[in-house]
Structure 1
Amino acid sequence: MTSALAGFSLGLSLILAIGAQNAFVLRQGLRRAHVFWVVLTCALSDAVLIAAGVAGFGALAEAVPGLETAMRLFGAAFLLWYAGRALRSAWTGGEALTAGEGAGSLRVALLTCLALTWLNPHVYLDTVVLLGAISAQYSDRLAFALGAMTASFVFFFSLGYGARLLAPLFARPLAWRVLDLVIALTMAAIAVSLLAGL
């Protein structure tokens, strides 16, 4: 039980900060667009990464020369592209929240979600390397991993479905413009931090 609680606490602390993936989930939740599939994709992706970290993949990833640099470059390029889209949306505005409106394609939502998850080097550094290293301190690594995975499921489902509580605020176009601006700045800041680490 101690290992599971430690995994849950650490897993939750690593995903609480607003990042590219969380901002996307929040936006999908506000739009009520493919929420179940988006949050399930995020949680399952995290589960795979946690399992890989606990199984020792972090050490393997560190042993491959140039892998981290390539991941940082691809991740930064994608985040800058996404930041540009959000900035353009903030500039043009005109969006307001109407339930069920602007859902877009499920395929596009899932591809964007997967890209924000798997092209982000911070995911590997935090989830695979850090969680994997810390899990070695616990005798029951399986319980630690299950605790961290549970934290991921709880967080993403809460964020995706809890976003609708903010719906009255996002009935106003200005709120969307502010959100898009915050998302653009967050994505750009993450991209810059990735490039600064090269």
Structure 2
Amino acid sequence: MITSVLAGFGLGLSLIVAIGAQNLFVLRQGIRREHALAVAAVCAVSDAALIAVGVSGLGAVLQAAPWLVDAARWGGAIFLGGYALLAARRALRPSGAALRIEGDPAAAGGAPGGAVATRTRLAPVILTCLALTWLNPHVYLDTVFLLGSVASTHGALRWWFAAGAATASVVWFFSLALGARHLGRWLSSPRAWRVLDGIIAVVMLAIAVSLVLG
């Protein structure tokens, strides 16, 4: 049992630590201290659901209907392209106000004139997180097909393997969300946020192009 849990944890962690759209979004929300824990929870629960689909054998249904993955691929490419344009716009035409982190004296003076960036409501943030997760075909390939296939080799212990993989998602996303909070002091100026948004735009656009190219 312990071996299956650790195997699932190790493989699950290795699949989600790579830089991607989902991780960058969690990182950005963590740095902004804006609904970071809610975003981490959505990512972890989504991963757990997809892992359960793969381990239960329902992944075979998706393999029998490849158009579902293709639909996610094109939908994800369009969404990521749009998100990249928004990030590029923030980088090229900043609002002129950096986010002041409450309780962080290092960030208090970052915004000109003490301005505070507008916080985004929870609903749009959650919807964006769901889109970045469920419209990414790589998520299905990793969590449903790959983890599901490896889990099947553990026989009766496959659900322990799934538990280990789901735990890896919880540990990673909450660590990323909470750890990113400490980066706020270095991103208290508009220039720093322009650089971050520029990086996000490039990565998101690169992922969108990779999805279009298959």
Q: Do they superpose with TM above 0.5?
A: yes
Runs of 4+ in 1 over 4 A off after TM superposition: none
Shift of 1:44: 0.5
Structure 2: unaligned runs, 5 residues or longer:
103-116
CA RMSD of aligned residues (A): 1.2
Higher Cα Rg, which structure: 2
Q: Deviations over 1:77-100 (max 9, x none)?
A: 111011111111111123423115
TM-score, scaled relative to structure 1: 0.95
Q: Count residues in correspondence.
A: 197
Q: Which residue of 2 aligns with 1:111?
A: 127
Q: Which residue of 2 aligns with 1:155?
A: 172
Shift of 1:136: 1.1
CA contact (8 A) 2:72 2:134 kept: no
1:184 corresponds to 2:186: no
Q: Deviations over 1:56-79 (max 9, x none)?
A: 122210101422221211110111
Structure 1: unaligned runs, 5 residues or longer:
none
TM-score, scaled relative to structure 2: 0.88
Comparing 57-66 with 14-23, which one deviates more in the overlay?
A: 57-66
CA contact (8 A) 2:87 2:200 kept: yes
The one-letter amino acid of 1:80's match is G
Instruction: For residue 4 of structure 2, give the secondary structure of its aligned residue in structure 1.
Output: helix
Q: Which residue of 2 aligns with 1:39?
A: 40
Q: Distance in 2 between matches of 1:137 and 1:188?
A: 37
Q: Which residue of 2 aligns with 1:170?
A: 187
Matches within 5 A, 1:1-198: 1-93=2-94, 94-100=96-102, 101-139=117-155, 140-197=157-214
Q: Distance in 1 between matches of 2:128 and 2:66?
A: 28
Q: Which residue of 1 aligns with 2:105?
A: none
Seen in structure 2, the aligned counterparts of structure 1 residues 74 and 103 have a Cα distance that, compared at 3 Å, is same
Q: Distance in 1 between matches of 2:209 and 2:37?
A: 31
Q: Distance in 2 between matches of 1:95 and 1:138?
A: 53
Instruction: For residue 75 of structure 1, give the secondary structure of its aligned residue in structure 2.
Output: helix
